[in-house]
Chains A and B, each alone.
Chain A
Amino acid sequence: MARAPNGEVFPLSATDTETPVAVDETRNAIVARFSAALGDAVVDSLVKPGDDVWIRVRTDAWRAVGDVARELGFVYFDFLSAIDWMPSPYGRGEDDPTEPAPERDMTVRQGYAGGETRMQVLARVVDPTTTIGVNLKADVADDSPVIDSWVTVFAGANWHEREAWEMFGIRFAGHPDLRNMYLPTDFEGHPLRKDFPLLARIVKPWPGIVDVEPLPGGGSDDEAGE
């Protein structure tokens, strides 16, 4: 619900008033099937009814998870990537370089299905008969991020793992050819890590610092416009 400036309350859309789907039998069954096949390798899971499934697995079971997913009918490989959960020390690159650096909350908070490490590998596989997909996550250690490669499970993981390696510096054990995908071979650093600065905002300060216009509507962010 949102509140208009005159105090009138209105629903943001039609979906606000509908009762949400409380239980999603199909997606709960998917989690149950993964848990039955993998045992304690499934660390955590989350089902958003009518939306999606997230399953977090133990890092050492990653390849077994891929095999199990294929056996359970999730034979379509959608993508593989990673998420760096550390908040960026540079914020949104809009700091004034003449001012002292602002204090930032640097606590690492993981998303759905939790996590213990700063970086997580994220992959999505889909069952082509039902077109329901599963988001699989696994923690990778902060100091030496290594995880098993999926190349033997899904041949298409090859390029995705090369991309995750160059962008996040996650090593994939058993990958036959872990070269850079886009960047030059001698490029240093892993650009999608949050502590890698966006250089365009470092070499030239964000022009928005000097002419800050007041935001429309003044005060609170929740205020509804037209």
Chain B
Amino acid sequence: MTMLTDRQQLSYIAAQAADARVNLELETEGMTLNIGPQHPATHGTLRIIARLDGEQVVWAEPSCGYMHRGYEKLTEVRTFPQVTALINRIDWLGSFANEVPFILAAEKLMGIEAPARAQHIRTILFELSRIANVSLFLGDLGVQLGAITPVFMAFRDREYVLNLIEGATGGRFHPNFDRIGGLKDDLPAGWIDETRSVMKKLRNFCDEIENLLFGNEIFQSRTRGIGVIPRDVAMQYGLSGANLRASGVDWDLRRDQSLPMAWNKVDWKVWTHNDGDSFARCWVRLQEVRESTKIVDQLIETIPAGPVMTKVPRIIKVPEGEAWVATENPLGEMGYYVVSKGDLGPFRVKIRSASFNNMSITPWLLKGVYVPDIITILASLYFILGDIDR
């Protein structure tokens, strides 16, 4: 083998580096790494294209659209009650929470409000979807960082919550239970006692995860200081939910808005973290599950009596107008901008989903990180593909 001179060697490497910046001093070759669309770390079909310089990312961009189902267009040919069946499937791990802001927007345009009992049960189911959603995140987090045990615990305990949701609504994943003016049905007998015991199990699950994962040295060294999002950058990109609160912004739409829901009737706390790194985001989510169990515990003791459905016309026509309603969903702020022309169906629905904004920060955030940290950062940002692509 003929030996190249240093000079020849450098020019050879430079010629090879057609599409990536190459560090000539270290003589590493640039390469383009494709992650996905089918990849265990992506909660669906997301493709990330990363250009690497050695182990470091110089440029990364998620390529969305593998799950685009065109819900905004489809809502325009549906009636208002039919839309909930579609929007159930946006964030499929917390389906009931997707229905609530849309129903609230329609109710706002109609000038009606659900009865107090329906508001209470809505809030309980909303928080149960949060627990079902975020507990899976806590388990999945371990898998993505190489710890296999937490995901089994998460699936074990999430099952209890799904059983509760199924017991109340009839659907494990897609309840389609919320109606304009109230709820489809009342709670079944014995449901409240069952909920009480499940909430205890979920609090145990949180403690287990905290001991097993959050106290783990490997976990800490892989998440602390990784993917730091400063406060003002988080605001510019419209991050929401735990991602925003982990950057030190004390903002929770459940507390800061006066919606016809029952959150302000109970005592709970909004957790924030000042670090803004991956650990902070995971930690805030863990605390959120605990707070959710507390909210549910308090709410099931104080459900007011009365009907679960107010009087609405059989054929629902929503008066002309525009309404914006956003709620604090498991993934962050989920809002619907509903335009009605006084027809049976909406004229235009803009779905503002949390994951779309949360993911839009990744080209900025992934710049300069090491390859294994891509997975950590994506896991801690926590997105669901149906929620990005809609």
A residues with a Cβ closer than 8 A to B are 2, 10, 12-16, 51-52, 54, 75-79, 81, 83-84, 87-88, 92-94, 109, 111-112, 122, 124, 128, 131, 133, 135, 154-156, 158-160, 167, 180-183, 191-192, 198, 201, 215-217, 221-226
Contacts and interface: CB of A to CB of B under 8 A. Distances in A.
A80 B211 CA distance: 42
B337 A112 contact: no
Interface residues of B, number: 54
Given A13-B111, A79-B335, A156 B361 contact: yes
Interface in B335-369: 335, 337, 339, 341, 344-345, 348, 350, 352, 356-357, 359-361, 364
A112 B324 CA distance: 12
B235 A225 contact: no
A109 B341 CA distance: 9
Interface string B304-320: 00000011111101000
B232 A75 contact: yes
Contacts of B257: 131
Nearest to A92: B77
Given A79-B352, A92-B76, A225-B313, A155 B233 contact: yes
B8 interface: no
B276 to A, nearest CB: 15
Given A92-B77, A128-B235, A83 B339 contact: yes
Contact of A198 (B73, B108, B311, B361): B73
Interface stretch (B33-41, B63-71, B217-225, B293-301): B63-71
Nearest to A84: B348
Contacts of B171: none
Nearest to B340: A111
A78 B312 contact: no
B312 A135 contact: no
B388 to A, nearest CB: 9
B251 A128 contact: yes
Given A158-B360, A182-B68, A112 B322 contact: yes
A221 B350 contact: no
B360 A88 contact: no
Contact of B235 (A10, A51, A77, A180): A77
A221 B313 contact: yes
B49 interface: no
A contact patch SS: loop
A124 to B, nearest CB: 7
Contacts of A156: 236-238, 357, 360-361
B111 A15 contact: yes
Contacts of B238: 76-79, 154, 156
Contact of B112 (A13, A79, A92, A183): A13
Given A13-B112, A15-B111, A131-B253, A124 B311 contact: no
Contacts of B194: none
Contacts of A94: 77
A12 B110 contact: yes
B362 to A, nearest CB: 10
Contacts of A16: 111-112
Given A84-B348, A124-B324, A131-B253, A222 B313 contact: yes
A128 B350 contact: no
B256 A131 contact: yes
14 contacts: A10-B311, A12-B112, A12-B312, A13-B111, A15-B113, A78-B326, A92-B76, A112-B321, A135-B322, A156-B238, A183-B65, A215-B314, A221-B315, A224-B312
